[in-house]
Amino acid sequence: MARCYLISDFDVIVIGGGPSGSATALGCASAGMSVMVVEKGDELRDKPCGGVLPWVASDTVEGIIGKEIPSSVMADPNELGLYYVPPSGRRNGGRVAGYKIHNIDRILFDKWLRDEAGSVGAEFRYNTKFVEFEGTDPIKVKVEQDGEARTITSRFLVGADGVRSDVRAQLLPGQPAPVLLVAQELWEASGDFEDCFYGFFSSRVSSSYAYLIPKGQQLLVGLGVQPKQDPDLTSAMSTFKEWLAAEFALRTSEMVKREVWAIPYGFFHPGLGNVLLVGDAAGLCNPLSGEGIRLGIESGDAASTAISSEAESSSLIGAYVKDVGGIAEFVGSVYDFVQNLDDQGREKFVSDELNRRSQF
């Protein structure tokens, strides 16, 4: 028997206008649902990000969005190769054959995604912060804009509000959601670097990954550490830059920007009842590379499919998990792999990747 719903302002309220929120909004609005996206930042919000998107990921993104990623959202150089460096250093590292990566400008990329969702009818409310929700049918969502509180109602709520999700915190109080802290610094700098995304693997700098990405005339260096890890972010970053100076002649002059944020690290929470979690809020980010844009878009798309096809049934979470479970399993298996890696394992990982790819 069809359920009877009370009248609500929107079919779906999405908290967060990053990639996962926009993909959710785009999918739901395309299926004819009314959608409001609540975003605490403004239209040009700057998310700490390396802005790299593997070529294969762009196929996924373009398949879901239905359009090619426009050249106007690319950074310079817009195409990068992939270069891995193991603990023993540059002599045993190298460029991975046949691997291409998009170098994107995250501010412009996210705006493009929001514009695409807007073009099919999703409504965006900027500078508006999610505060709390209550009830189930409809869900009453309390938001705050310019210090003023307002309540909006919807049949479904989607937490796309990132790694430190407020929706998740309220929905699943006390559930662990561990993170890897990631620091990145943008430098006016020079060095012996090709147009590549460089992935560095060594316990001296990170239990997970460190990276360098060319951005125009500047270089972005970053790495992840677990909270309370020794060495901490600051000393790990110093060691990393010393390594880059010794082996790649890195010379820094002026720091343009320093950011510290986090990625999910070892959890998956899909949601509860008619509240779904997507992207970082759900824990979907690659723990070995920090790649999360694609997984955010894929999970947002899966959430929209579950919402539009399961709206009349009680099996929303089941339908969502069925669709997104493969991504969650992949993230879980990479997490287990990273947890068990020592430097010998990192050496083998890089050597295997270089050999495997060169067979293509």
Residues 6+ apart with CB under 8 A from 47: 18, 106, 107, 110, 261
Closest separation in Å from C-beta 312 to ligand FAD: 27
Closest separation in Å from C-beta 222 to ligand FAD: 6
How far apart CA 126 and CA 37 sit, in angstroms, is: 8
CA distances from 170 to 269, 281, 348 (A): 13, 12, 42
CA distances from 60 to 149, 190, 194, 297 (A): 38, 34, 27, 9
Look at residue 332 and give its three-state secondary structure: helix
Identify the H or E element spanning 335.
helix 316-339
The residue whose two tokens read 């067979």 is 359
**Count of positions on this chain that bind ligand FAD (CB under 6 A):** 41
Quote the tokens at residue 127: 């500078």
Q: Spell out, one character per residue from 107 to 146, where the chain touches ligand FAD: x when CB under 6 A holds, - when not.
A: ----------------------xx----------------
Identify the H or E element spanning 343.
helix 343-358
Q: How many residues does the chain have?
A: 360
Task: Find the binder of ligand FAD among 20, 153, 206, 304 (CB under 6 A).
Answer: 20
Task: Find the binder of ligand FAD among 55, 126, 193, 261 (CB under 6 A).
Answer: 261
Specify the stretch interacting with ligand FAD by CB under 6 A; choose among 32-40, 78-86, 134-142, 169-177: 32-40
Specify the stretch interacting with ligand FAD by CB under 6 A; choose among 245-253, 275-283, 316-324, 340-348: 275-283
Quote the tokens at residue 193: 């670097």
Residue 170 C-beta-side C-alpha neighbours within 13 Å? 17
Q: Which of residues 35-94 bind ligand FAD (CB under 6 A)?
A: 38-41, 45, 47-53
Q: Spell out, one character per residue from 146 to 185, where the chain touches ligand FAD: x when CB under 6 A holds, - when not.
A: --------------xxx---x---------------x-x-
Specify the stretch interacting with ligand FAD by CB under 6 A; choose among 9-17, 76-84, 307-315, 326-334: 9-17
Q: Which is nearer to ligand FAD, 9 or 88 (CB)?
A: 9
Q: Which of residues 210-249 bind ligand FAD (CB under 6 A)?
A: 222
What pairing do the DSSP bridges indicate for beta strands 74-85 and 94-104?
antiparallel
Closest separation in Å from C-beta 143 to ligand FAD: 7
Q: Which of residues 298-357 bind ligand FAD (CB under 6 A)?
A: none
Q: Which is nearer to ligand FAD, 189 or 303 (CB)?
A: 303
Closest separation in Å from C-beta 318 to ligand FAD: 22
Residue 263 interacts with ligand FAD (CB under 6 A)?
yes
Q: What is the DSSP string of 265-308?
A: -S----EETTEEE-HHHHT-S-TTT---HHHHHHHHHHHHHHHH
Cβ-proximal residue to ligand FAD, closest one: 292
Residues that bind ligand FAD (CB under 6 A): 15-21, 38-41, 45, 47-53, 129-130, 160-162, 166, 182, 184, 222, 261-263, 279-281, 285, 290-294, 296
